[in-house]
Amino acid sequence: MTLQAISRFFSGTPLLTLAAILGVTHAEAQEVTMAFGEKIPPYCIPENDSGIELDIMREALAVRGHVLKPRYTSFARIPVMFESGTVDAAMTDAGKNLSAAGGHYAEPAIIYDNVLISLKQRALQIRQPTDLAGLSVLSFVGAANRYPDWLAQVKKQGRYSELNDQSRQVLMLSRGRVDLVLSDRYIFRYFSRHLQQSQGFTPPAVTEHQFVKLNPQDYRPIFRDPAIRDDFNVGLRQLKKSGRFDEIYRHYVGGMAKP
């Protein structure tokens, strides 16, 4: 069976049937309990167990017959759940090295395209950390650990805060409650559209400031079992080679370019 044919089966074939097609016995397949963020669409959408990241993780693991069991929690608790042994894997370490907790890092599955976002009418110019002087920043949980060079001084001065519910970032920025929001650009756009459709919210014009170079190594999934990590890597490469990886991205972000 070609990789292209396998990718067609991913979207509509039950995982155990898929495992049989690929020659993996039921006894060899394992359930993998994995911690995911609960408020980060389009990457994770708990309401229907879907999203860019969830679909990629599920289908990559399924190549070797493993079955994903997502566990949703706040972003800050993801590494805590892994350290406590509550889950077998985690979508991210939230800026904390989990190797000491028995974590084995996989190849990066997705890239969060984090940007600083301001109201366009403010005409802010953000090119270096000193440009944040006097400005308030509202971010996703764990950003201060990820970007200390940019955020340490803002945090020290009491002008930095984090929210697990990133839909509130959109509202607080639009109402002038904060000067800048730090978010993945797709998450911010998703919530802007959702609020527009569900509440009649009118999204203001914004400027996205790319403040750091994207680093795929920042968001690698972590597995407790190195063999399952290796199986995931094999499946991920297969998704990319078959074109299924790009199909998943296009399904959720439409015409927006993949980072």
Residue type, position 246, single letter: D
Torsion sign, CA atoms 64, 67, 68, 71 = negative
Determine the Cα–Cα distance for residues 2 and 237; give it in Å rounded to an integer: 14
Q: For the chain, which residues score pLDDT lower than 50?
A: 1-27, 257-259
Tokens 């009118």 sit at which residue?
Answer: 202
> Which ranges of 34-184 would DSSP assign to H, the alpha helix?
52-62, 78-83, 143-146, 148-156, 167-174
Q: pTM surpassing 0.95?
A: no
Residues 74 and 102 in one domain: yes
Give the three-state DSSP class for 117.
strand
In this predicted structure, what is the pLDDT of residue 109? 94
**122 & 200 share domain:** yes
pLDDT score recorded for residue 4: 36
Give me the pLDDT at residue 257, please: 41
246 occurs within a structural domain: yes
Q: How many domains does the chain have?
A: 2
Q: Give the burial class of 83: count Cβ atoms within 10 A of its Cβ; 0-12 exposed, 13-18 middle, 19 or more buried.
A: middle
pLDDT tens-digit map of 210-225: 999 988 888 899 999 9
Same domain membership, residue 31 and residue 82: yes
Structure tokens at 93: 């370490």
User: What is the residue range of 63's domain?
Assistant: 3-111+216-253
pLDDT computed for residue 86 by the predictor:
97
CATH code of the domain covering residue 134: 3.40.190.10
Asked if residue 155 and residue 201 are part of one domain, the reply reads yes
Could you tell me which residues come within 8 angstroms of residue 198 by beta carbon, excluding any fewer than 6 positions away? none
- Assess whether 63 and 140 both reside in one domain: no
Using the CB atoms, write b or e for 45-71: b if 16+ within 10 Å: bbeeebbbbbbbbbbbbbbbbbbbebb
DSSP 8-state secondary structure symbol assigned to residue 228: H
Q: Are residues 140 and 204 in the same domain?
A: yes
- Give the pLDDT confidence score for residue 23 in this predicted structure: 43
Angle separating helix axes 226-242 and 52-62, nearest 10 degrees: 110
Torsion of CA 56, 58, 62, 67, to 10 degrees: 170
- The predicted pLDDT at position 39 comes to 87
Q: Using omega within 30 degrees of 0 as the cis cutoff, is the peptide bond preceding 42 cis?
A: yes
Residues 25 and 76 in one domain: yes
Q: What is the pLDDT of residue 17?
A: 37
Q: What is the pLDDT of residue 95?
A: 85
Claim to verify: residue 155 and residue 27 sit in the same structural domain:
no
Same domain, 247 and 157: no
